[in-house]
């Protein structure tokens, strides 16, 4: 039974009515371009074939009642009053999307069933998958025109203003607009994206360290604040600078005397990382997989040493991946502080890679892990559901 059909069936059992709409959205891996999106820079994400489905129906009252399969919890949500501080649980993300959508048009009360499918807290953007799948299902249920780029902005606003995570737009835009078979070379300022065909003879293996992280308890927001501080300081030398995307290595070196050592390291990562998405795209397009792997390795080193968002478990898993002959390169993916890494692996070597690297990582880390190959998938879509 397809995942969306199963979610529809469980919705009926939970709420006793038929869903008006079932929609799904993918998780994502960011191939490279980490912590660049909120600096208006460049990234190379791809949606993955791990999807989260959401089913909705209208209610006779104005309440929003949501159930999350992953947590076995049902909650009635406050989506109309002033937003509280929030605990950044799954229900806060659901409430935040309703608040952001309601700012644009009146919404009815709704029942919401949130399925599973995207690992939570692993750095593959389960939050954006939830936000976009929910927005897609609600739009279908109320007959609203679906504008994927606009809804990515709405979902980002939901997370920024109502959840309290100052994320960029990369995750939401990928979940909303991705296409099967391609990665997106994304300009996070203009939101323009070019498609990069993903080669058939290599694969991306996601390596879940088994260590969960929460952006609410990490230094994610602090990293963004440091970037904004650097921009303010650099503007004294170059008034036209709007974001770190506008700063090159020479300008950053000139501004070094205005910055403390930590701020300089953070900015150095972003400035250098902004060039890596285009470099990786060029390597993949030309079949230079050694060059592609080198870009991944360089990114991980920068994230570990300059931006300081890696972790011992992420470092171990990447070390073990690189030691395998089928691996071209590896790096952490997502915000860091735990979660997943990715490896670029020869397609024919995936099985041996997983069978070899996973137990080696677990023996060093004493953590249960999950390794799985992913392929580029479509963005949000309304699912056809067969009655059961």
- Strand partners of residue 66: 75, 112
**What is d(CA 134, CA 97) in angstroms, rounded to the nearest whole number?**
8
Say if CB 296 and CB 341 are below 8 A apart: no
Q: Which two tokens stand for residue 346?
A: 């020869």
* Torsion sign across C-alpha atoms 137, 58, 75, 149: positive
Say if CB 34 and CB 273 are below 8 A apart: yes
**What is d(CA 292, CA 140) in angstroms, rounded to the nearest whole number?**
40
**What is d(CA 147, CA 164) in angstroms, rounded to the nearest whole number?**
24
Which ranges in the chain belong to alpha helices (H)?
Answer: 3-15, 90-102, 126-142, 148-157, 170-177, 220-234, 249-254, 261-273, 276-286, 289-305, 312-322, 350-365
SS3 88: coil
- Strand partners of residue 186: 43, 193
Annotated catalytic residue, options 60, 61, 78, 171: 171
With CA atoms as reference, report the closest residue to 336 among 215, 170, 172. Answer: 215
**What is d(CA 275, CA 332) in angstroms, rounded to the nearest whole number?**
17
Say if CB 225 and CB 262 are below 8 A apart: no
Say if CB 83 and CB 69 are below 8 A apart: no
Whole-angstrom Cα Rg for the chain: 21
Residue matched to tokens 């580029």: 376
Q: Which two tokens stand for residue 122?
A: 């692993």
Residue 386: Cβ within 10 Å count: 10
Is 171 tagged catalytic? yes
Provide the annotated active-site residues.
171
């Amino acid at each position: 039974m397809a995942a969306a059909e199963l979610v529809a069936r469980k919705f009926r059992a939970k709420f006793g009515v038929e869903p008006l709409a079932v929609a799904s959205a993918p998780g994502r891996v960011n191939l490279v371009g980490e912590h660049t999106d909120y600096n208006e820079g460049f990234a190379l994400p791809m949606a993955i074939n791990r999807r989260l489905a959401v089913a909705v129906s209208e209610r006779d009252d104005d309440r929003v009642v949501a159930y999350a399969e992953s947590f076995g919890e049902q909650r009635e949500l406050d989506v109309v009053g002033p937003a509280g501080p929030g605990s950044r649980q799954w229900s806060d993300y659901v409430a935040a999307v309703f608040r952001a959508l309601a700012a644009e048009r009146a919404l009815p009360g709704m029942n919401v069933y949130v399925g599973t499918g995207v690992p939570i807290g692993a750095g593959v953007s389960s939050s954006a998958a939830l936000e976009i799948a929910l927005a897609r299902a609600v739009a279908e249920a109320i007959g609203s025109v679906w504008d994927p780029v606009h809804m990515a902005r709405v979902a980002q606003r939901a997370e920024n203003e109502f959840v309290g995570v100052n994320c960029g737009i990369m995750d939401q835009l990928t979940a909303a607009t991705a296409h099967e078979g391609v990665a997106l070379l994304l300009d996070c300022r203009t939101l323009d994206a070019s498609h990069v065909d993903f080669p058939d003879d290599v694969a991306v293996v996601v390596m879940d360290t088994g260590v969960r992280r929460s952006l609410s308890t990490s230094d994610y927001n602090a990293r963004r604040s440091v970037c904004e501080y650097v921009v303010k300081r650099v503007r004294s030398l170059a008034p036209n600078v709007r974001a770190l995307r506008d700063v090159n290595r020479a300008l950053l070196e000139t501004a070094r005397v205005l910055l403390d050592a930590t701020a300089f390291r953070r900015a150095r990562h972003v400035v250098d990382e902004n060039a890596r998405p285009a470099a990786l795209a060029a390597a993949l397009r030309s079949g230079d997989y050694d060059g592609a792997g080198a870009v991944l390795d360089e990114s991980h080193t920068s994230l570990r040493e300059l931006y300081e968002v890696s972790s011992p478990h992420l470092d171990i898993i990447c070390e073990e991946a690189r030691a395998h002959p089928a691996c071209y390169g590896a790096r952490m993916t997502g915000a860091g502080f735990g979660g997943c890494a990715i490896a670029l692996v020869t397609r024919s070597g995936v099985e041996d890679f997983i069978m070899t690297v996973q137990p080696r990582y677990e023996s060093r880390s004493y953590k249960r892990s999950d390794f799985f190959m992913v392929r580029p998938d479509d963005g949000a879509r309304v699912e056809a559901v067969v009655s059961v």
